[in-house]
Amino acid sequence: MSATEAPPAPPEKPDVRKPSARRRLVPYWLLLPGILWLLVFFALPMVYQASTSVQTGSLEKGFEVTWHFRTYWDALAEYYPQFVRSLLYAGTATLLCLLLGYPLAYLIAFKAGRWRNLVLVLVVAPFFTSFLIRTLAWKTILADGGAVVDVMNTLHVLDVTAWLGWTESNRVLATPMAVVCGLTYNFLPFMILPLYTSLDRIDGRLHEAARDLYATPATTFRKVTLPLSMPGVVSGTLLTFIPASGDYVNAELLGSTDTKMVGSVIQTQFLRVLDYPTAAALSFILMAVVLLVVTVYIRRSGTEDLV
């Protein structure tokens, strides 16, 4: 074929269209790196984990996918106490966070006046010291023969809590109460901040209106403040419950072998026993349970636009 002139290029589309086509691509370029990061390092690992959970084998010979679903059953049968305990402790801590956090959020939003910023700083301030160091401080506070245990002993509170199985008759450390106390402490700010945000949004004139209509303070709270703060309650409980259910730091530092949570088991299986399928199965079950709880909770509370 002789070299001839190249066929005439197709007539270019009018220039005006080009920038708009490029503009349509802008969001995709903006999204690409971040979304790719999440896909590769968040979504893909989930797939790998799902596959690992149905593998069998040993560390020496290697693992192979054998669709061995029994791992799930065996893991649940062996570790259900830790599972139940995790949900129980996390639930209790979430409830305590709500009971303790609500008054403080209310105080900041409505009563603090010119102290508001200072109190807010004090709420966030604990964050500035590593949470592990602060959790270790609870070892000192709850120590055997320490002030807290002494007071509880003299007031015979310890007898009651020991009877309930929350503590032992002479100590608090290494008991369920210590773990729940640590969990509550660690996740309180995650409850208070969303509560404060939603309380702060409430129009003060609504309170005046309620008072003008002869509502008692209690009625005002029940009929006006509480319903309007529900978005904060929902996101606060989620932000507390989710990390608390998978936490193993408090259970390991403040608890004993009788207070181990499922996070400890996953960590031990993965990093020490090196039984990857069991660890993967446990972690998958935890994920499923938490997602189920979260979805049902969000549906029932009717605030689906949390994100």
Partner 1 sequence: MPVLRWIRRNLVVLAGLLTLAYMILPNIVVMVFSFNKPNGRFNYAWQRFSLDAWKDPCGVADLCGSLSLSLRIAFWATIGATALGTMIAFALVRYRFRARGAINSLIFLPMAMPEVVMAASLLTLFLNMGAQLGFWTVLIAHIMFCLSFVVTAVKARVMSMDPRLEEAARDLYAGPVQTFVRVTLPIAAPGIAAGALLAFALSFDDFIITNFNAGSTVTFPMFVWGSAQRGTPVQINVIGTAMFVIAVAVVLAGQLVANRRRSNARK
Task: Name residues contacting partner 1, limited to 114-143 (CB under 8 A).
Answer: 117, 119, 121-141, 143
Span from 2-10, 23-31, 158-166, 204-212 in contact with partner 1 (CB under 8 A) = 23-31
Residues 146-175 that bind partner 1 (CB under 8 A): none
| Cα 143 off chain centre by | 28
Shortest CB 122 distance to partner 1, Å: 6
Span from 3-11, 102-110, 159-167, 199-207 in contact with partner 1 (CB under 8 A) = 102-110
Shortest CB 121 distance to partner 1, Å: 6
Helix (H), strand (E) counts: the chain = 15, 2
- Residue 121 or 160: the one with the smaller Cβ distance to partner 1 is 121
- Residue 159 or 288: the one with the smaller Cβ distance to partner 1 is 288
Exposed/middle/buried for residue 26 (C-beta within 10 Å: 0-12, 13-18, 19+): exposed
Span from 43-51, 69-77, 163-171, 204-212 in contact with partner 1 (CB under 8 A) = 43-51
Residues 233-292 that bind partner 1 (CB under 8 A): 238, 242-243, 245-249, 253, 263, 266-267, 270-271, 276, 279-280, 283-284, 286-287, 290-291
DSSP letters of 129-152?
A: S-HHHHHHHHHHHT-TTSHHHHHH
Q: Which residue in the set 85, 98, 189, 240 belongs to the binding site for partner 1 (CB under 8 A)? A: 189
User: Quick check: 190 and 240 in contact, CB under 8 A?
Assistant: yes
Q: Which residue in the set 111, 201, 222, 299 belongs to the binding site for partner 1 (CB under 8 A)? A: 111
Shortest CB 7 distance to partner 1, Å: 35
Span from 25-33, 77-85, 161-169, 205-213 in contact with partner 1 (CB under 8 A) = 25-33
* Residue 174 DSSP code: T
Shortest CB 213 distance to partner 1, Å: 21
The alpha carbons of the chain give a radius of gyration, in whole angstroms, of 27
Distances from the Cα of 125 to the Cα of 121, 142, 208, angstroms: 6, 22, 33
- Residue 27 or 204: the one with the smaller Cβ distance to partner 1 is 27
Neighbours of 177 (CB within 10 A): 25
Distances from the Cα of 48 to the Cα of 54, 56, 76, angstroms: 10, 14, 20
- Residue 111 or 159: the one with the smaller Cβ distance to partner 1 is 111
307 near partner 1, rule: CB under 8 A:
yes
- Residue 49 or 301: the one with the smaller Cβ distance to partner 1 is 49
Residues 48-77 that bind partner 1 (CB under 8 A): 48-49, 52
Residue 174 contacts by C-beta under 8 Å, 6 or more apart in sequence? 168, 254, 255, 256, 259
- Residue 158 or 285: the one with the smaller Cβ distance to partner 1 is 285
Tokens of 287: 């994920």
Packing angle, helices 157-164 and 147-154, rounded to 10: 90
Shortest CB 277 distance to partner 1, Å: 10
CA 172/CA 295 separation, integer angstroms: 35
Residue 100 contacts by C-beta under 8 Å, 6 or more apart in sequence? 184, 188
Strand partners, 65: 55
